[in-house]
Amino acid sequence: MSRIYTKSMAVLDKFVPQKLQPVWQHPAGPKTIFFWAPMFKWGLVIAGIADLKRPAENISPPQTMALAATGVIWSRYSLVIIPKNYNLFSVNVFVAITQLYQLYKAISYQRSLASKRPTTS
């Protein structure tokens, strides 16, 4: 597989305009996994945005906390690795934001249920 990839990149190198060469040749550019992994992770952001319409009673707080935590952790990691990966940073910031909003919605819903319960004495 590596030979196929190497040869295909050599062919594509000839078609990349001079203006885009710095991006193309960057250590976290399209020729590396450091570019493509975050690109596919945008699917989580799209799913998170679609889930914003989900009713609060259907939100799983543990799952939402786990996704928010990974978003925060990987956002930090993407800025301390070499080369810095701003694509990875941005996708993880969006993952964290959407999940933190969902978590807020779920906790608010659970608190509203708790406040409506009759107190027993």
Closest CA to 107 of 95, 99, 97: 99
* Coil, strand or helix at 118: coil
Which band of pLDDT confidence, cut at 50, 70 and 90, is reported for residue 98? Answer: very high
Residue 83 is inside which H or E element, if any? none
Average pLDDT of span 72-94:
93
The two three-digit tokens of residue 19, written as one number: 């203006």
State the chain's mean pLDDT as an integer: 90
Q: Rounded to whole angstroms, how far apart are CA atoms 59 and 70? A: 17
Helical (H) or strand (E) element with 55:
none
> For 86-109, what is the mean pLDDT?
95
Look at residue 106 and tell me whether its pLDDT is greater than 80: yes
Neighbours of 94 (CB within 10 A): 19
Please give the average per-residue pLDDT across 81-108, as a whole number: 94
- The model's pTM: 0.78
Amino acid type, 58: N
Q: What domains appear along the chain, each with residue ranges and CATH number?
A: 1-26 (no CATH), 32-116 (1.20.1280)
Among 4-8, 10-14, 90-94, top mean pLDDT goes to 90-94
Q: Is the pLDDT of residue 121 over 70?
A: no
